[in-house]
Amino acid sequence: MSADTFWKEMEGVHSAMLSIGSARHVPMSPYARQADDAIWFITAQGTDLVRAAESGDSAASLIVTGESNIHARIEGEATLVQNRAKLEELWNPVAATWFDGIDDPDLRLVKLVPSTAEVWLTSGALGFAFELVKAKVTGKQPDMGEHFTLAF
């Protein structure tokens, strides 16, 4: 499977669990941008993720599961980035609910550059249910989709 498929599927992901360094995994909204070879996050000053990055931790882990056809464990390097143009590109109603506008001084951008990803692509919940029923009827193993590992 190609990296292009990974990036295309990641564009449809709206929530995932992100960890940086020793900071625990927390739910975040990822913004995958293949052109940047990165997954972006909008977060706030004072969070465990920001504190970890500020202390020099950069090892990051992103867990994607549940809402789309992609399930993945993504490892890479995370950094805090000051980039007004990127913030304007990513800004959306979801981000706006957490902050006092795009000029909120607590806004922080996190850039995750993946190094590896273990990926499972499925046909979604309905397809999964169909495969289970089909397996029960035919006695054959269900088709659970594709599984592959990428190195970036």
Q: How far apart are CA 20 and CA 24, in angstroms?
A: 7
Residue 86 structure tokens: 């990127």
Section 135-145 average pLDDT: 66
Give the domain extent around 63: 3-151
Q: How far apart are CA 143 and CA 152, in angstroms?
A: 27
What residues form DSSP beta bridges with 152?
Answer: none
Residue 89 structure tokens: 């590109």
The model's pTM is: 0.88
What residues form DSSP beta bridges with 118?
Answer: 73, 149
Q: What are 105-117's pLDDT values in tens digits?
A: 999 999 999 999 9
Q: Is the dihedral of CA 116, 38, 58, 65 positive or negative?
A: negative
What residues form DSSP beta bridges with 149?
Answer: 118
Domain total in the chain: 1
Q: Are 111 and 81 in contact (CB under 8 A)?
A: yes
Q: What is the CATH number of the domain that holds 11?
A: 2.30.110.10
Q: How far apart are CA 29 and CA 14, in angstroms?
A: 5
Q: What are 17-41's pLDDT values in tens digits?
A: 999 999 999 999 999 999 999 999 9
